[in-house]
Amino acid sequence: MVTIVAVKEMKGTSKSPKISIAEQTYAELKRLILENELPAGHQLMEGEIAELLDISRTPAREAMMKLEAEGLVEIRPRHGMKVKPISVSDMREIYALLTGLESTAAWQAASLDHDDAEIQKLRDSVEKMDKALKAQDLQGWADADESFHRQLVAMSGNKRLIELVDRFIDQSHRVRMLTLSFRPPPLQSNEDHANVVDAILKKQPDEARRLHRIHRENAGRLLVELLEKHGLTQL
């Protein structure tokens, strides 16, 4: 069952009045897609979105267009939007791109000076991952893991790189959540993150890039293996 937050309610309680109805609509629809509440193949007409979220059609249309630009949905005339499926082949491509882009970000991050607060964000994510694993909280681990990767890329200072990585992380999020319960405990992944942080602190850009590349390659390989093993060829 889809759990929808009415955008009118969000409008009335938002602490940021500058956020438009279209942006709030986009954020809510994106949340539903990323959390698999709107699964692959699910279709919604513009009018249905407007009715479900208690808004007019214009912000619904704007939100749909933004989601299509991010590769999450397909808009078809007279059929509304359809949540796009992700195949094993798609995941191979996404992780190949994430590996290259994030490794470059790690190199750039280790080449720059950072304040204590930035470094602490990385350390906090690693600590949260460790605590989540000890508590056998895979969802908590996944949230901290994603936070680590986004913070690492943010530390590159490259806005276009950040935008690209954010898009590919979003596209892979649904599959990661669906396979979370299948994967073995990610002990090595936590160690990898700690080693990357160490390389950044020591200002070793080549080592940071090398470590992160190996980490992302292993993560992508594991995910594809899980999909194939469980027959999840398209999600």
| Per-residue model confidence as pLDDT tens digits over 115-167 | 999 999 999 999 999 999 999 999 999 999 999 999 999 999 999 999 999 99
pLDDT digits (tens, 9 = 90+) for 100-111: 999 999 999 999
Residue 12 maps to a domain: yes
Residue 1 maps to a domain: no
Three-state SS string over 84-139 comes to CCCEHHHHHHHHHHHHHHHHHHHHHHHHCCCCHHHHHHHHHHHHHHHHHHHCCCHH
- 170 and 66 inside one domain: no
Give the domain extent around 209: 88-229
Query: Which residue, 57, 83, 109, sits at the end of a domain?
Result: 83
- 98 and 212 inside one domain: yes
Residue 234 maps to a domain: no
- 164 and 188 inside one domain: yes
CB 72 within 8 Å of CB 171: yes
pLDDT digits (tens, 9 = 90+) for 182-234: 899 999 999 999 999 999 999 999 999 999 999 999 999 999 999 999 888 77
- 99 and 149 inside one domain: yes
pTM of the model: 0.85
The CATH number assigned to the domain holding 23 equals 1.10.10.10
